[in-house]
Protein backbone atom coordinates (compact mmCIF):
# COMPACT_ATOMS: atom_id res chain seq x y z
CA UNK A 1 0.00 0.00 0.00
CA UNK A 2 1.45 3.39 -1.01
CA UNK A 3 0.24 6.93 -0.56
CA UNK A 4 0.58 10.08 -2.63
CA UNK A 5 -0.78 13.50 -3.48
CA UNK A 6 -2.13 13.90 -7.00
CA UNK A 7 -3.74 16.63 -9.01
CA UNK A 8 -7.01 16.12 -10.88
CA UNK A 9 -6.42 16.36 -14.63
CA UNK A 10 -9.83 15.59 -15.99
CA UNK A 11 -13.25 14.39 -14.94
CA UNK A 12 -14.64 12.38 -17.80
CA UNK A 13 -18.20 12.41 -18.96
CA UNK A 14 -18.49 8.83 -17.70
CA UNK A 15 -17.77 9.88 -14.09
CA UNK A 16 -14.14 8.74 -13.99
CA UNK A 17 -11.58 11.05 -12.44
CA UNK A 18 -8.11 11.13 -13.99
CA UNK A 19 -5.23 12.26 -11.78
CA UNK A 20 -1.52 13.02 -12.12
CA UNK A 21 0.77 12.15 -9.25
CA UNK A 22 4.15 13.90 -9.73
CA UNK A 23 5.93 10.86 -8.26
CA UNK A 24 4.49 8.62 -10.98
CA UNK A 25 5.19 8.61 -14.70
CA UNK A 26 1.65 8.33 -15.96
CA UNK A 27 -1.85 9.53 -15.33
CA UNK A 28 -4.17 7.12 -13.56
CA UNK A 29 -7.90 7.07 -13.00
CA UNK A 30 -10.56 6.07 -10.54
CA UNK A 31 -14.32 5.73 -10.34
CA UNK A 32 -16.21 7.96 -7.92
CA UNK A 33 -16.80 5.04 -5.57
CA UNK A 34 -13.14 5.19 -4.53
CA UNK A 35 -13.69 8.55 -2.81
CA UNK A 36 -13.72 8.23 0.98
CA UNK A 37 -17.18 8.85 2.46
CA UNK A 38 -18.75 8.70 -0.98
CA UNK A 39 -22.52 8.45 -0.74
CA UNK A 40 -23.54 8.07 -4.36
CA UNK A 41 -23.31 11.72 -5.40
CA UNK A 42 -23.08 12.44 -9.10
CA UNK A 43 -19.93 13.97 -10.56
CA UNK A 44 -21.93 17.19 -11.06
CA UNK A 45 -22.69 17.37 -7.32
CA UNK A 46 -19.07 16.63 -6.40
CA UNK A 47 -17.85 19.32 -8.80
CA UNK A 48 -20.00 21.83 -6.92
CA UNK A 49 -18.31 20.67 -3.71
CA UNK A 50 -14.84 21.23 -5.09
CA UNK A 51 -13.88 18.16 -7.11
CA UNK A 52 -12.43 19.85 -10.19
CA UNK A 53 -9.35 19.82 -12.42
CA UNK A 54 -6.42 21.34 -10.57
CA UNK A 55 -7.67 20.17 -7.18
CA UNK A 56 -5.18 18.14 -5.10
CA UNK A 57 -6.32 14.85 -3.65
CA UNK A 58 -4.75 12.32 -1.32
CA UNK A 59 -4.44 8.91 -2.91
CA UNK A 60 -3.82 5.45 -1.52
CA UNK A 61 -2.56 2.90 -4.06
CA UNK A 62 -2.70 -0.87 -3.81
CA UNK A 63 0.24 -3.19 -4.45
CA UNK A 64 -0.24 -3.06 -8.21
CA UNK A 65 -0.57 0.72 -8.35
CA UNK A 66 -4.31 0.93 -8.73
CA UNK A 67 -6.14 3.64 -6.82
CA UNK A 68 -7.56 2.09 -3.65
CA UNK A 69 -9.04 5.20 -2.09
CA UNK A 70 -9.07 8.96 -2.56
CA UNK A 71 -9.82 11.75 -0.14
CA UNK A 72 -10.16 15.46 -0.74
CA UNK A 73 -11.34 18.47 1.22
CA UNK A 74 -14.99 19.12 0.49
CA UNK A 75 -15.83 22.78 0.00
CA UNK B 1 3.71 -2.66 -33.38
CA UNK B 2 2.03 -4.78 -36.04
CA UNK B 3 -1.68 -4.23 -36.20
CA UNK B 4 -3.96 -7.21 -36.83
CA UNK B 5 -6.58 -5.72 -39.13
CA UNK B 6 -9.60 -7.24 -40.82
CA UNK B 7 -9.83 -5.52 -44.18
CA UNK B 8 -13.05 -6.09 -46.17
CA UNK B 9 -11.13 -5.94 -49.46
CA UNK B 10 -9.01 -8.89 -48.30
CA UNK B 11 -11.83 -10.93 -46.77
CA UNK B 12 -11.52 -13.78 -49.25
CA UNK B 13 -7.78 -14.09 -48.42
CA UNK B 14 -8.22 -13.62 -44.68
CA UNK B 15 -11.24 -15.90 -44.27
CA UNK B 16 -10.80 -19.10 -42.34
CA UNK B 17 -11.66 -22.40 -43.99
CA UNK B 18 -14.86 -22.81 -42.02
CA UNK B 19 -18.05 -21.22 -43.26
CA UNK B 20 -20.82 -19.86 -41.11
CA UNK B 21 -24.54 -20.46 -41.21
CA UNK B 22 -26.30 -17.67 -39.29
CA UNK B 23 -28.77 -18.93 -36.72
CA UNK B 24 -31.20 -16.13 -37.51
CA UNK B 25 -31.79 -13.30 -39.99
CA UNK B 26 -28.88 -11.04 -40.84
CA UNK B 27 -28.93 -7.73 -42.79
CA UNK B 28 -29.09 -8.11 -46.57
CA UNK B 29 -26.08 -5.81 -46.86
CA UNK B 30 -23.99 -8.23 -44.76
CA UNK B 31 -25.23 -11.22 -46.74
CA UNK B 32 -24.32 -9.44 -49.98
CA UNK B 33 -20.82 -8.73 -48.66
CA UNK B 34 -20.55 -12.46 -48.01
CA UNK B 35 -18.29 -12.45 -44.96
CA UNK B 36 -18.62 -11.79 -41.28
CA UNK B 37 -16.15 -11.48 -38.43
CA UNK B 38 -15.89 -14.79 -36.57
CA UNK B 39 -17.61 -14.05 -33.27
CA UNK B 40 -15.82 -17.03 -31.70
CA UNK B 41 -12.59 -14.98 -31.83
CA UNK B 42 -14.09 -12.19 -29.71
CA UNK B 43 -14.64 -11.91 -25.96
CA UNK B 44 -16.87 -9.64 -23.87
CA UNK B 45 -15.08 -6.41 -23.06
CA UNK B 46 -12.92 -6.43 -26.18
CA UNK B 47 -12.20 -3.08 -27.78
CA UNK B 48 -13.36 -2.93 -31.39
CA UNK B 49 -11.73 -0.21 -33.50
CA UNK B 50 -13.20 0.85 -36.83
CA UNK B 51 -11.80 2.70 -39.83
CA UNK B 52 -14.30 3.46 -42.58
CA UNK B 53 -13.36 2.57 -46.15
CA UNK B 54 -15.32 5.50 -47.57
CA UNK B 55 -14.64 8.35 -45.20
CA UNK B 56 -17.51 10.64 -44.27
CA UNK B 57 -16.87 14.27 -43.35
CA UNK B 58 -16.89 13.31 -39.66
CA UNK B 59 -14.52 10.35 -40.19
CA UNK B 60 -12.12 12.52 -42.17
CA UNK B 61 -12.33 15.13 -39.44
CA UNK B 62 -11.46 12.67 -36.66
CA UNK B 63 -8.63 11.28 -38.79
CA UNK B 64 -7.20 14.76 -39.39
CA UNK B 65 -7.51 15.80 -35.75
CA UNK B 66 -5.61 12.70 -34.66
CA UNK B 67 -2.90 13.22 -37.28
CA UNK B 68 -2.58 16.89 -36.34
CA UNK B 69 -2.44 15.91 -32.67
CA UNK B 70 0.68 13.88 -33.35
CA UNK B 71 -0.42 10.31 -34.04
CA UNK B 72 1.00 8.46 -37.02
CA UNK B 73 -1.25 7.40 -39.90
CA UNK B 74 -1.56 3.77 -38.73
CA UNK B 75 -3.10 4.90 -35.45
CA UNK B 76 -4.88 8.04 -36.66
CA UNK B 77 -6.85 5.96 -39.21
CA UNK B 78 -9.02 4.51 -36.41
CA UNK B 79 -11.95 6.85 -36.01
CA UNK B 80 -14.45 4.88 -33.94
CA UNK B 81 -14.35 2.55 -30.93
CA UNK B 82 -16.90 0.20 -29.37
CA UNK B 83 -17.19 -2.33 -26.56
CA UNK B 84 -17.83 -5.90 -27.66
CA UNK B 85 -20.57 -7.72 -25.75
CA UNK B 86 -21.52 -11.04 -27.31
CA UNK B 87 -22.51 -12.51 -30.69
CA UNK B 88 -22.93 -9.54 -33.05
CA UNK B 89 -23.70 -7.08 -30.22
CA UNK B 90 -21.62 -4.07 -29.29
CA UNK B 91 -22.08 -1.00 -27.10
CA UNK B 92 -21.01 2.26 -28.70
CA UNK B 93 -21.33 6.04 -28.45
CA UNK B 94 -22.54 7.48 -31.73
CA UNK B 95 -24.02 10.81 -32.68
CA UNK B 96 -27.34 9.39 -31.50
CA UNK B 97 -25.91 8.68 -28.05
CA UNK B 98 -24.76 5.56 -26.23
CA UNK B 99 -26.58 2.47 -27.42
CA UNK B 100 -26.35 -1.26 -27.90
CA UNK B 101 -26.07 -2.02 -31.60
CA UNK B 102 -24.81 -4.61 -34.06
CA UNK B 103 -21.44 -5.35 -35.62
CA UNK B 104 -23.27 -6.24 -38.82
CA UNK B 105 -23.54 -2.51 -39.53
CA UNK B 106 -19.78 -2.40 -40.04
CA UNK B 107 -19.30 -5.53 -42.15
CA UNK B 108 -17.91 -4.71 -45.55
CA UNK B 109 -17.69 -0.96 -44.98
CA UNK B 110 -15.00 -0.69 -42.32
CA UNK B 111 -11.61 -2.06 -41.48
CA UNK B 112 -11.89 -3.69 -38.06
CA UNK B 113 -9.32 -4.29 -35.36
CA UNK B 114 -9.88 -6.10 -32.09
CA UNK B 115 -7.82 -5.31 -28.98
CA UNK B 116 -7.94 -6.84 -25.52
CA UNK B 117 -6.39 -6.33 -22.11
CA UNK B 118 -4.88 -9.81 -21.59
CA UNK B 119 -4.83 -9.59 -17.79
CA UNK B 120 -8.55 -8.92 -17.32
CA UNK B 121 -10.41 -11.70 -15.54
CA UNK B 122 -13.75 -12.91 -16.89
CA UNK B 123 -15.51 -10.94 -14.13
CA UNK B 124 -13.62 -7.79 -15.09
CA UNK B 125 -14.48 -8.25 -18.77
CA UNK B 126 -18.17 -8.46 -17.97
CA UNK B 127 -17.84 -5.56 -15.54
CA UNK B 128 -16.38 -3.52 -18.40
CA UNK B 129 -19.39 -4.44 -20.55
CA UNK B 130 -21.90 -3.59 -17.84
CA UNK B 131 -20.24 -0.25 -17.07
CA UNK B 132 -20.40 0.67 -20.75
CA UNK B 133 -24.06 -0.34 -21.07
CA UNK B 134 -24.89 1.70 -17.94
CA UNK B 135 -23.95 4.83 -19.93
CA UNK B 136 -26.90 4.08 -22.19
CA UNK B 137 -29.00 7.18 -22.63
CA UNK B 138 -25.98 9.48 -22.46
CA UNK B 139 -25.85 11.90 -25.37
CA UNK B 140 -22.90 12.14 -27.73
CA UNK B 141 -20.09 14.28 -26.30
CA UNK B 142 -19.90 16.94 -29.01
CA UNK B 143 -18.35 19.49 -26.64
CA UNK B 144 -15.62 16.98 -25.72
CA UNK B 145 -14.90 16.43 -29.41
CA UNK B 146 -14.53 20.17 -29.89
CA UNK B 147 -12.20 20.23 -26.88
CA UNK B 148 -10.08 17.51 -28.50
CA UNK B 149 -9.94 19.54 -31.72
CA UNK B 150 -8.54 22.52 -29.87
CA UNK B 151 -6.10 20.33 -27.95
CA UNK B 152 -4.82 18.76 -31.19
CA UNK B 153 -3.71 22.22 -32.33
CA UNK B 154 -1.18 22.24 -29.48
CA UNK B 155 -0.48 18.57 -29.96
CA UNK B 156 -1.60 15.66 -27.83
CA UNK B 157 2.01 15.27 -26.64
CA UNK B 158 1.64 18.42 -24.54
CA UNK B 159 1.12 17.59 -20.91
CA UNK B 160 -2.22 18.69 -19.57
CA UNK B 161 -1.60 21.65 -17.29
CA UNK B 162 -4.45 24.05 -17.84
CA UNK B 163 -7.63 24.01 -15.85
CA UNK B 164 -10.47 23.01 -18.10
CA UNK B 165 -14.20 22.99 -17.75
CA UNK B 166 -14.97 20.33 -15.18
CA UNK B 167 -18.71 20.23 -15.46
CA UNK B 168 -19.38 16.71 -16.65
CA UNK B 169 -22.51 16.58 -18.72
CA UNK B 170 -24.31 13.34 -19.48
CA UNK B 171 -22.56 13.10 -22.81
CA UNK B 172 -19.75 10.81 -23.86
CA UNK B 173 -17.80 9.95 -27.00
CA UNK B 174 -16.76 6.55 -28.31
CA UNK B 175 -13.23 6.04 -27.00
CA UNK B 176 -14.10 7.66 -23.67
CA UNK B 177 -16.92 5.11 -23.27
CA UNK B 178 -14.41 2.24 -23.49
CA UNK B 179 -11.68 3.91 -21.42
CA UNK B 180 -14.01 4.85 -18.57
CA UNK B 181 -15.56 1.38 -18.49
CA UNK B 182 -12.04 -0.06 -18.36
CA UNK B 183 -11.09 2.04 -15.32
CA UNK B 184 -14.30 1.09 -13.53
CA UNK B 185 -13.74 -2.61 -14.30
CA UNK B 186 -10.09 -3.00 -13.36
CA UNK B 187 -8.70 0.32 -12.08
CA UNK B 188 -6.21 0.90 -14.91
CA UNK B 189 -6.40 3.94 -17.16
CA UNK B 190 -6.06 3.84 -20.93
CA UNK B 191 -5.32 6.43 -23.59
CA UNK B 192 -2.72 9.16 -23.72
CA UNK B 193 -1.50 9.02 -20.12
CA UNK B 194 0.78 12.03 -20.67
CA UNK B 195 -1.71 14.49 -22.10
CA UNK B 196 -4.73 12.98 -20.35
CA UNK B 197 -7.09 12.61 -23.32
CA UNK B 198 -8.42 9.44 -24.88
CA UNK B 199 -9.12 9.01 -28.61
CA UNK B 200 -9.41 5.99 -30.91
CA UNK B 201 -5.80 6.65 -31.95
CA UNK B 202 -4.61 6.61 -28.33
CA UNK B 203 -6.42 3.30 -27.78
CA UNK B 204 -4.77 2.01 -30.96
CA UNK B 205 -1.30 2.70 -29.57
CA UNK B 206 -1.97 1.79 -25.92
CA UNK B 207 0.41 -0.96 -24.84
CA UNK B 208 -1.95 -2.18 -22.11
CA UNK B 209 -4.05 -3.71 -24.90
CA UNK B 210 -2.94 -6.48 -27.28
CA UNK B 211 -4.27 -7.09 -30.77
CA UNK B 212 -6.48 -10.15 -31.18
CA UNK B 213 -6.18 -12.34 -34.24
CA UNK B 214 -9.71 -12.39 -35.60
CA UNK B 215 -10.81 -13.98 -38.86
CA UNK B 216 -13.47 -13.52 -41.46
CA UNK B 217 -15.84 -16.41 -42.02
CA UNK B 218 -17.72 -16.93 -45.26
CA UNK B 219 -21.47 -16.68 -44.86
CA UNK B 220 -23.36 -19.71 -46.16
- B6-20, B51-65, B106-120, B123-137, range with greatest mean pLDDT: B106-120
Confidence of residue A10 (pLDDT cuts 50, 70, 90): confident
pLDDT of residue B124: 97
Separation of alpha carbons A70 and B157, rounded Å: 27
Name the residue with higher pLDDT: B178 or A46.
Answer: B178
Mean pLDDT for B184-210 is 88
| CA B139 to chain CA centroid, nearest Å | 17
Is the Cβ pair A13, B168 closer than 8 Å? yes
Mean pLDDT for B4-10 is 96
Question: Which residues of A fall below an 8 Å CB-CB distance to B?
Answer: 9-16, 18, 20, 26-31, 43-44, 47, 51-54, 62, 66-67
pLDDT of residue B140: 64
Alpha-carbon distances, residue B48 vs A58, A66, B75, B180 (angstroms): 35, 25, 14, 15
Does residue B13 carry a pLDDT above 60?
yes
- Contacts with B180 from chain A: Cβ below 8 Å: 12-16, 29
pLDDT of residue A51: 86
Separation of alpha carbons B145 and B80, rounded Å: 12
Does residue B161 carry a pLDDT above 60?
no
Is the Cβ pair B168, A66 closer than 8 Å? no
Enumerate the H helices of chain B as residue ranges: 11-14, 28-33, 57-68, 73-76, 122-133, 142-154, 174-186, 200-205
Report the range of poorest mean pLDDT among A48-52, B65-69, B216-220.
A48-52
- Phi, psi (rounded to 5 degrees) for A65: 65, 25
Q: Output the pTM of the full model.
A: 0.89
State percent of chain B over pLDDT 90.
Answer: 62
Query: pLDDT tens for residues A18-70?
Result: 999 998 888 899 999 999 988 888 888 888 888 888 899 999 999 988 999 99
- Contacts with B169 from chain A: Cβ below 8 Å: 13
pLDDT of residue B31: 95
Is residue B144 within 8 angstroms of chain A, CB to CB? yes
Q: Which residue of B has its CA nearest to A48?
A: B167
pLDDT of residue B42: 98
Separation of alpha carbons A42 and B140, rounded Å: 19
How far does the CA of residue B160 sit from the closest CA of chain A (Å)? 7
How far does the CA of residue A25 sit from the closest CA of chain B (Å)? 8
Query: pLDDT tens for residues B41-56?
Result: 999 999 999 999 998 8
Best residue in B193, B206, B207, B208 to probe A by mutation, most A CBs within 10 Å? B193
pLDDT of residue B87: 94
Is the Cβ pair B189, A9 closer than 8 Å? no
Amino acid sequence: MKKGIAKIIRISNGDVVYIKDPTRAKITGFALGKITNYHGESAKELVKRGLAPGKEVSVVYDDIDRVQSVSFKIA
Amino acid sequence: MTQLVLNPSEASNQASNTSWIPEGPIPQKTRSFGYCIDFKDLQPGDLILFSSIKKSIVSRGIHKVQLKGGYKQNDAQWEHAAVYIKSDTICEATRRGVKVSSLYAYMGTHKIRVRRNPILTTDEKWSLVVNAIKQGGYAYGYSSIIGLLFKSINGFWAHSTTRRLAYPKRAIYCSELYADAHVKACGFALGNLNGGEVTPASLSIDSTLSDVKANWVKIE
